[in-house]
Structure 1
Amino acid sequence: MGTLVRGGTVLSVDRAIGDLPRGDVLVEDGRIRAVGERLDAPDADILDATGMLVLPGFVDTHRHTWQAVFRGLGADWTFAEYGRATHGVLRPLHRPEDVYVGTRLGRLEALHSGVTTLLDWCHCTDTPAHGDAALDALGRTPGRSVFCYGAGVAADGPVAAELARMRDRVPGDDALVTMAAGLRGPQRTSIENTAADVAAARDLGLRVSVHAHVRAGRRPVAAMGEHGLLDDRTTIVHGNGLDDDELAMLADAGCSVSISPDVELKMGFGWPETGRMLAAGIRPTLSVDDCLSAGGDMFSTMRTALGVQRGLDTAQGRPPSLTARDVLEFATLDGARALGLGDRIGSITPGKQADLVLLRADDLTLFPVNHPVGAILSAGHPGLVDTVLVAGEVVKRGGALVGVDLDELRERTLRSRARIAAAAGVPLDGSWLPV
């Protein structure tokens, strides 16, 4: 029978289909069956999208979801302060149940704001039970998630056995929860350990994600390239300050890049490398990174990426290197491709799974909508997200998540936060600056 999403402004992010000022999307068995101006589906259930923008779900390619309980605490932190506070003080006090609560809270927040697919870069994995808790939280939360297992940042030994154990717990490559490997990388461990991690991931058929930005003159991408550790299954996170030849290495190997513009600016990584990636032939993807210092929605992330790059272009005497539509593609189709899901999600294309977001266009933030993509990039915010579908299932309707006990989650969140903060002896009012 299926569902007919009827009468919305459809932004397909499929260049062959384009935008439909008034369009319908037919969903059957979790997949997009047809897209058109007026579809005939008399037996379908009607999901009225009148007065709404219909677009693919957002894809966040890198987020440390377990940190959501302490959102906002690091608004004034540098990257060094973040490392000392988060991994030196807070992470060691997290029990598995705290990881579960933080991951569930963060994943629901993302879903609430239209992020239908999220790569959870989980590096609070000090024990097997911690990794299990994060994976369980993703599995019990509506949404499409990639559990990216990252060895605890203090770990300096082999991780292949634990990576394989976690791989056995993931339902399968066609499930809503899949898996990737988070590399410690040459900035955290030896190149020998990095090579061993990549080999273990490849043996398990996993894509890899690795943090790499320049500090103290190091060349992390060059090191990986020289050891044959870059290919089209590799995502580089951040990439700030990489040399031009390193960008060429990434492009030649078919790597993807995940940019976190808000965190990179606030924590002192340097200018987001959106424009340099484009110039090198790499389509960037976008990520929130962490909610200690950045908002958890893709709207603000897209807006920062667009504004900063256009400002840099102007300051350096160049014409604008990207448009609002480019950035929407970064946050949808390009993100899906980076996660190996480009044939499954990322655009409203017949045959793909129906991950859809419906935004209220009658809200005074957007109304009247003249340039739909421009409106989303200029003024979009989570409060506009009325309805969300994942694989054709409605997981948010009328502005509320479906079948989620938020009161119970809030209680567990506050208990977790109180216990960890008390054990750490730190205030929660923003006055704590780690030394």
Structure 2
Amino acid sequence: MNRRSFIKALLASSTASSFAGVRRSSGAEFILDPRNAPKSGRVLIKGGSIVTMNSSLPDFAGDLLIEDGKIAAIDRQIDSGNAQIIDASRLIVVPGFTETHRHTWQSCLRHLGANWSAAQYFANNFFKFGVVMRPEDVYAANLIGRLAALDDGITTLVDWSHIMNTPAHADAAVQGLRDVPARSVFAMGWPQAPDPSKWIVKSTQDISDDIRRVRKQHFSADGGLVTMAMAGRGPDFAVIPQVARDLSIARELGIPTTIHVGFASPGGIKAMKEAGLLGPDITHVHVKDSTDEELQFIRDSGGTVSISPLDEMLRVRWRRGLPPVVRTLERGLVTSLSCDSESTSSGDMFSIMKNTLAVGRFQASNPGDDRSEPANWNAASVISTRQIFEMATIQGAKTAGIEKVTGSFAVGKSADLLLLQSDNLAYHPLQNPVDAIVGAADAGCIEAIFVAGKPVKFGGKLIDDALVAKARRLATESRDYLFQKVGFVRG
């Protein structure tokens, strides 16, 4: 039998079975047949290893019932009734990931800056590509970027969108998010064209009133899978009166604000406190150079933090310290994770979690003083795999302001969840699900993804083939246009 005949025979035998075929090089098999993905209605996930991320509901082996897009019951055993049943005896059931800061508009430039410094990132993405980007490029980037994040298990994403060159750019960004069956927060920022420096170098520019139109036209109600926030400039980019103006507009519109701060120098958070601007509606992104006093100001204000350890380590900046993993945790801050930009980093939450754990463990075992090692000390007492997983789930949901909707399992919450193979060769034999996921899992371990109770990935494959094909085609066309426009030659 030749190779082609063998493959045909293999596919024929697999489609006749309850499996969909042989999975990846790990040797694991498909557990769920994508042809049998459940339809809308009652779905019972039965006999899974359930990681709840709910402090009042310990992890356990049992059942989870989905009805009308929400978790209707969660218990050791639930009567199936007329529910469609998913046999989860070989699956780990976890809340979907929440990522709290990604410049999704840069997704068609993926890994272009794998060897860039921070200065090169700004020079290329802002001053070269950002100024020539069309609305259709923003749509293509948001479509493939959000779709890929979903494929990696990120059921909620905060899209940090500072590519508002025209109102059409804003509309395209929103539509790109809405065309993906996932939960997103559109954080609307400022333009790049015609001169990015006007917005990032002690800016005195007023942001466009188009944010009011977008709020009214696209987000007149706060429900739905896609909601709105402001991507404010913050004191690292703008003078304090402009920071105050940004915040006042967001607060008038009733939307939260996310700002970059403490990634160029300390002092910005202190300046905001002195101006009476801090509050629980602000997410502070990076805070890498912020002082311990400033971190305490955030905690006192009820604000949250988003850090990007993988990107901050990859995008080199001269003599900058490590991302503030331990410092934020030690102060009890709500701390979540982000990819920042796929032009320089990975959008895979599994990679981000591993890197965050490594950075935190290094910081924990290498304090910046001469104290001696405490008796019976271990790194997990300072930063554990559980804490990292919290950052990727419930802490992320708190940062995005949707912890009542998602981020953990509880009756009444949205059924945003992942099913991962418990016997994947990456971590088999399984000891502890959280340790295995944070320490060894990757996107190839995901068997299925549900958002608001609907399966969007099943049998290890995104369900909407047409949407995937469209995203790939548009991303390729956009990349080719942008490269031609700026005279970039691929190596």
8 A contact 1:167–1:179 mirrored in 2? yes
5 Å-filtered alignment, 1:98-113, equals: 98-113=137-152
Q: Which amino acid aligns with 2:72?
A: R
5 Å-filtered alignment, 1:241-280, equals: 241-267=289-315, 268=317, 270-280=321-331
Q: Which amino acid aligns with 1:241?
A: D
User: Cα RMSD (Å) of the superposition?
Assistant: 1.4
- Whether 2:288 is the aligned partner of 1:240: answer yes
Q: For residue 474 of structure 2, what is the aligned residue in structure 1?
A: 412
Q: For residue 75 of structure 1, what is the aligned residue in structure 2?
A: 114
TM-score between the two structures when normalised by the length of structure 2:
0.85
**What is the aligned counterpart of 2:170 among 131, 149, 152?**
131
Between the aligned partners of 1:41 and 1:77, the Cα distance in structure 2 is 54
Q: Which moved more, 1:419-428 or 1:86-95?
A: 419-428
**What is the aligned counterpart of 2:416 among 352, 355, 360?**
355
Unaligned runs of 5+ in 2: 1-40, 368-372
- Secondary structure at the residue paired with 1:262? helix
Shift of 1:245: 1.2
Shift of 1:305: 0.5
Unaligned runs of 5+ in 1: 430-435
Q: For residue 403 of structure 2, what is the aligned residue in structure 1?
A: 342
Runs of 4+ in 1 over 6 A off after TM superposition: none
**What is the aligned counterpart of 1:47 among 75, 86, 89?**
86
Q: For residue 402 of structure 1, what is the aligned residue in structure 2?
A: 463
Shift of 1:307: 1.0
- Whether 2:236 is the aligned partner of 1:194: answer no
Between the aligned partners of 1:161 and 1:50, the Cα distance in structure 2 is 53
Shift of 1:229: 1.3
Q: Which moved more, 1:64-73 or 1:405-414?
A: 405-414
8 A contact 2:325–2:359 mirrored in 1? no
Shift of 1:148: 0.3
TM-score between the two structures when normalised by the length of structure 1:
0.95
Between the aligned partners of 2:176 and 2:80, the Cα distance in structure 1 is 37
Q: Which amino acid aligns with 1:338?
A: T
Between the aligned partners of 1:171 and 1:101, the Cα distance in structure 2 is 25
Larger Rg: 2
Q: Which amino acid aligns with 1:143?
A: A
8 A contact 1:89–1:424 mirrored in 2? yes
- Whether 2:365 is the aligned partner of 1:314: answer yes
5 Å-filtered alignment, 1:11-410, equals: 11-20=51-60, 22-153=61-192, 154=196, 155=199, 156-159=204-207, 161-168=209-216, 169-170=218-219, 172-215=221-264, 217-267=265-315, 268=317, 270-316=321-367, 317=373, 319-320=378-379, 321-405=382-466, 406-410=468-472
Q: For residue 3 of structure 1, what is the aligned residue in structure 2?
A: 43
Between the aligned partners of 2:455 and 2:221, the Cα distance in structure 1 is 22
Shift of 1:240: 0.3
8 A contact 2:42–2:67 mirrored in 1? yes
Between the aligned partners of 1:214 and 1:296, the Cα distance in structure 2 is 20
8 A contact 1:263–1:294 mirrored in 2? yes
Q: Which amino acid aligns with 1:132?
A: D
1:131-153 alpha-carbon deviations (Å, 9 max, x no partner):
11000111111100000001125
